[in-house]
């Protein structure tokens, strides 16, 4: 990662460029971000999210969709 790319990435995250310009990993509470460069001009950003965080977000989204869903004809939501 050259200095120009590093500065751009620091603008959107607290990424600190590593000594190794080919890889710069950063760990947060519930996820891990790594930046890899294999070719000139190609940057691969990989985000690994913990299953606990993924599960909680999925449950929230699913609950909202269930609450907003149209009732099925012939079925009552609550008795």
Q: How many CB atoms lie within 10 A of CB 71?
A: 8
| Residue 58 included in any domain | yes
Domain of residue 54 covers 3-68
pLDDT tens readout for residues 20-70:
444 556 777 777 888 877 777 787 888 888 888 788 888 999 999 888 888
The whole-angstrom separation of Cα 63 and Cα 48 is 24
9: number of Cβ within 10 Å = 20
Specify the pLDDT at position 62: 92
Q: Report if residue 19 sits inside a domain.
A: yes
Please give the pLDDT value at position 19.
46
| pLDDT score of 61 | 92
Q: pTM for the whole thing? A: 0.38
DSSP annotation of 72 = P
Residue 52 falls inside a structural domain: yes
């Amino acid at each position: 990662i050259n200095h120009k790319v590093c500065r751009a990435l620091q603008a959107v995250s607290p990424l600190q460029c590593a000594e190794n310009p080919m890889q710069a990993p950063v760990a947060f509470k519930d996820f891990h971000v790594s930046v890899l460069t294999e070719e000139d001009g190609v940057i691969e950003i990989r985000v690994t999210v913990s299953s606990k965080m993924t599960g909680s977000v999925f449950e929230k989204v699913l609950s909202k969709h269930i609450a907003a869903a149209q009732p099925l004809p012939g079925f009552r939501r609550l008795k």
